[in-house]
């Protein structure tokens, strides 16, 4: 980064000036736009909202409100303070803030990188709903070095982002490949026996709901797994909310013994995870059913077959409810699963375990490389965007 150092020493040896967002940008928000409206007006122009999945895109419609170079930010919810760089024709919803740079001495892309560090620090996380409102965004101060320096920083960080994007694309291709081979290996006909879930669980598995919810503010109690905790293949004890021992004991049928398979049955149904050995003695909420299997069933095979497209489609068919969607316990018990010989179950489980690990294990393969690359990007981003403040 000697070129950048030379530019800083030449153009701003005494530091850089900072300015408030309200002085360098037009600040606005989008309008209420329902999913029904988006469906009924489908087109080619993206609508950005508060979500961060799919690059924040809620859908596409046949008109647009903005055209050019902008920054959007999430104003409400768990992802409040997340910023995005936008170009082209698009619209935004009411839970999406919008910045249009009006200062010719400020690069929009540079502002994006600067706010990606700064904006999350201004999120108000009180009252149960995180927010970053327009008046707060307006007050944020950012460094504004000379444009030559901004452009060099953008060039460096864009390169980091491009390398990370290439790895993400390769990982996505590998995941699609894993899903293809998983579904191919797990496609059976009449050559294997199909059994209900109730027929293959162990004798002490009741296939039933757990605790309604963990207690607020309970400490030194019994950890409870919620659907929101099922973000990886194995769920561990750290960070789980808790309930009292008395409440947990009243739900003895779902107290974990370790290594159960957990299936989400409320909300986003069909999510599958293993309970880690450190969860022995813990419990689960009403949204999760723990499953343990008899000696003729391989748990790794069950993890993959329950995640297969065929079985996930069956779970979706049995999911009902207009508000909080859930699976009826009777339907879950009667869910039919193909059961090859135990030898073949283990063989399939081992093959797909290796494939799944390459795609999803953060300690190995591409996921580990992406994580390392992202940490490297964040380190240099923070370093590049730290300036001495020039006294005005």
Q: What is the rounded CA–CA span in Å between residue 293 and residue 225?
A: 20
Query: Which residues sit opposite 93 in a β-bridge?
Result: 31
Looking at residue 319, which CATH number applies to its domain?
Answer: 3.90.220.20
Q: What is the pLDDT of residue 370?
A: 76
User: Residues 257, 372: one domain?
Assistant: no
- What is the pairing mode between strands 326-327 and 42-48? unpaired
Query: Which residues sit opposite 31 in a β-bridge?
Result: 93
Angle at alpha carbon of residue 231, lines to 368 and 377, rounded to 5°: 35
Query: Which residues sit opposite 61 in a β-bridge?
Result: 42
User: Residues 235, 310: one domain?
Assistant: yes
CB 48 within 8 A of CB 93: yes
User: Residues 204, 335: one domain?
Assistant: yes
User: Residues 318, 378: one domain?
Assistant: no
User: Residues 166, 238: one domain?
Assistant: no
User: Residues 306, 158: one domain?
Assistant: no
User: Residues 199, 296: one domain?
Assistant: yes
Is residue 317 in a domain? yes
Q: What is the rounded CA–CA span in Å between residue 156 and residue 384?
A: 9
Is residue 5 in a domain? yes
**Listed residue (285, 176, 159) closest to 223, CA to CA:** 285
User: What is the Cα gyration radius of the chain?
Assistant: 25
DSSP-derived letter for residue 353 is H
Is residue 90 in a domain? yes
User: Residues 265, 371: one domain?
Assistant: no
Query: Each residue of 12-54: pLDDT tens digit?
Result: 888 889 999 999 999 999 888 888 899 899 999 999 988 777 8
DSSP sequence for 84-122:
EEEEEEEEEBTTEEEEEE--TT--HHHHHHHHHHHGGGG
User: Residues 351, 319: one domain?
Assistant: no
- What is the pairing mode between strands 57-61 and 42-48? antiparallel
Is residue 187 in a domain? no
Query: Each residue of 345-371: pLDDT tens digit?
Result: 999 999 888 887 776 665 556 667 777
Is residue 43 in a domain? yes
Which of 299, 319, 339 finishes a domain? 339
User: Residues 91, 161: one domain?
Assistant: no
The 3-state secondary structure of the chain, one letter per residue: CHHHHHHHHHHCCCCEEEEEHHHHEEEEECECCCHHHHHHCEEEEEEECCCCHHHHEEEEECCCCEEEEEEEEECECCCCCCEEEEEEEEEEECCEEEEEECCCCCCHHHHHHHHHHHHHHHCECCCCCCECCHHHHHHCEEEECCHHHHHHHHHHHHHHHHHHHHHHHHHHHHHHHHHHHHHHHCCCCCCCEEEEHHHHECCCCCCCCCECCCCCCCCCCEEEECHHHCCCCEECCCCCEEECHHHHHCCHHHCCCCCCEEEECECCCCCEEEECHHHCCCEEECCEEEECECCCCCHHHHHHHHHCHHHHHHHHHHEECCCCCEECHHHHHCCEEEECCHHHHHHHHHHHHHHHHHHHCCCCHHHHHHHHHHHHHHHHHHHHCCCCECCC
Is residue 181 in a domain? no
User: Which 3 state secondary structure label does DSSP give 175?
Assistant: helix
- Alpha-carbon torsion angle 76, 82, 83, 88, nearest 10: -70
Count of domains observed in the chain? 3
Cβ-Cβ contacts under 8 Å for 64 (sequence gap 6 or more) = 45, 89, 90, 91
Is residue 183 in a domain? no
Written as tens digits, the pLDDT of the chain (392 aa) is: 577 778 877 788 888 899 999 999 999 998 888 888 998 999 999 999 887 778 889 899 999 999 999 999 998 888 889 999 999 999 999 889 999 999 999 999 999 999 999 999 999 887 667 889 999 999 999 999 999 999 998 998 888 888 888 878 877 887 788 788 888 888 887 788 999 999 999 987 888 888 888 877 788 899 999 999 998 889 999 989 999 999 999 888 899 998 799 999 988 899 999 999 999 999 999 999 999 999 999 999 999 999 999 999 999 998 887 667 889 999 999 999 999 999 999 999 998 888 877 766 655 566 677 777 788 778 777 787 777 777 65
Which of 320, 339, 358 finishes a domain? 339
Q: What is the rounded CA–CA span in Å between residue 269 and residue 287?
A: 9
User: Residues 113, 160: one domain?
Assistant: no
Is residue 188 in a domain? no
User: Residues 104, 134: one domain?
Assistant: yes
Domain limits at 87? 17-144
Strands (E), the chain: 17-20, 25-29, 42-48, 57-61, 66-74, 83-92, 96-101, 141-144, 193-196, 222-225, 234-235, 241-243, 261-264, 272-275, 283-284, 288-291, 319-320, 326-327, 336-339
Main-chain phi, psi angles of 317, to 5 degrees = -60, -35
């Amino acid at each position: 980064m000697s070129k950048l150092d030379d530019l800083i020493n030449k153009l701003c040896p005494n530091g850089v000036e900072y300015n408030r967002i309200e002085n360098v940008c037009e600040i606005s928000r989008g309008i209420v736009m329902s999913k029904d409206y988006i469906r009924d007006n489908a087109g080619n122009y993206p609508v950005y909202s508060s979500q961060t999945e799919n690059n924040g895109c809620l859908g596409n419609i046949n008109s647009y409100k903005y055209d050019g170079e902008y920054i959007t930010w999430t104003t409400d919810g768990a992802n409040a303070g997340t910023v995005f760089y936008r170009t082209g024709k698009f619209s935004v919803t009411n839970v999406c803030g919008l910045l249009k740079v009006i200062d010719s001495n400020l690069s929009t892309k540079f502002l994006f990188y600067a706010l990606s560090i700064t904006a999350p620090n201004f999120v108000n996380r009180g009252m149960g709903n995180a927010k970053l409102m327009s008046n707060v965004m307006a007050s944020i101060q950012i460094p504004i070095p000379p444009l030559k320096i901004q452009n060099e920083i953008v060039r460096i960080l864009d390169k980091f982002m491009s390398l990370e994007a290439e790895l993400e694309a390769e990982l996505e291709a590998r995941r699609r490949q894993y899903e293809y081979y998983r579904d191919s290996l797990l496609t059976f006909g009449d050559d294997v026996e199909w059994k209900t879930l109730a027929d293959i669980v162990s004798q002490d598995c009741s296939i039933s709901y757990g605790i309604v919810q963990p207690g607020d503010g309970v400490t030194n109690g019994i950890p409870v797994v919620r659907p929101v905790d099922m973000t990886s293949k194995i769920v561990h004890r750290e960070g789980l909310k808790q309930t009292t021992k008395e409440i947990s004991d009243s739900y003895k049928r779902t107290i974990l013994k370790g290594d159960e398979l957990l299936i989400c049955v409320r909300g986003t149904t069909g999510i599958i995870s293993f309970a880690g050995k450190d969860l022995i003695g813990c419990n689960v909420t009403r949204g999760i059913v723990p499953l343990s299997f008899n000696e003729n069933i391989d748990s790794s095979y069950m993890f993959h077959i329950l995640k297969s497209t065929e079985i996930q489609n069956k779970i979706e068919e049995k999911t009902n409810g207009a508000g909080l969607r859930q699976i009826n316990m009777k339907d879950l018990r009667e869910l039919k699963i193909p059961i090859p010989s135990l030898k073949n179950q283990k063989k399939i489980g081992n093959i797909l375990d290796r494939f799944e690990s390459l795609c999803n294990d953060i300690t190995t393969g591409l996921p580990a490389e992406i994580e390392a690359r992202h940490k490297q990007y964040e380190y240099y981003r923070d370093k590049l965007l730290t300036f001495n403040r020039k006294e005005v």
